[in-house]
Amino acid sequence: MTETKTDPRILRTRKLIMDSFIDLSSKKEFKDITIKDITTEAMINRATFYYHFEDIYDLLDKALTEVLFVNLNFEDYKDSDFDEDTFVRIFTAITDFQTSLSNRCHRGYEDTIARIIRDQLEVILYSILKRKHPSDADEGLKLSATMLSWGLYGASVEWRRSSNTVSPEEFIKTVTPYLD
C-alpha cells in the first residue's frame, strides 16, 4: 500500500483561505464575515472554498485547530512526564494561544476555542497518563485526561480574567506543588 501525498497546490490554497479568514477576523466580528468576504480576500471562487470547507463554521474550527497545533504541538509532549515542567509548558502554550487570538480576533469564538483547546489537551494528557500508568484501565485514564483538560482550560480563563498581573508560569506554579 502506498502513501498518497496531498498536492502542494491544495495545501497552499487551504492555507490561503485560512489566512484570509484570520486576517478578516481581526477586522470584523465572526457573525459579520461572509463566504464572499473570504473568497474576495483570498482571490478564489466559491467552489474552491467549498472544495476545502463545508461552511464558515468548518473553516473556523479547522483554522483555530491548526493555530493551536502550532502553539500546543503534540510532538513536544509525547515523551514528557506528568511533572511541573510539562504542566507549566502546556499551560503557557494555552495562554499564549488565547492571547494571540485575542490580539487578532474579535469576540464570538469562545465556545469553539474552549472545545478545541480541551480536545487537544485531552489527547496530550491521555498520552502522558497512559505512558505513566500503562496497565490502568482506559476509562479512568480518559476521564482523568478530560478532568485535567477542563481544569487547565479553566485556569487559563481565570488567568486572563485576573488581568494578567502575573505571568502564566507564576500563576500556574501556585498549583503545581499539589500535583503529586
Give residue 105's pLDDT: 56
For 148, other C-beta atoms within 10 Å of its C-beta total: 22
- 118 contacts 149 by C-beta, under 8 angstroms: yes
Q: 2-52: per-residue pLDDT in tens?
A: 455 678 888 899 989 988 988 888 788 778 889 999 999 999 999 999 999
- Report the pLDDT averaged over residues 151-164: 86
Give residue 180's pLDDT: 62
User: CATH fold of 8-53, please?
Assistant: Arc Repressor Mutant, subunit A (1.10.10)
DSSP 47-62: HHHHHH-SSHHHHHHH
Q: 127-145: per-residue pLDDT in tens?
A: 888 888 888 888 999 999 9
Query: 96: helix, coil or strand?
Result: helix
Angle between helices 56-71 and 35-42 (to 10 degrees): 60
Residue 179 corresponds to which cell in the numbers above?
A: 500535583
Q: 100-120: per-residue pLDDT in tens?
A: 776 555 556 677 778 888 888
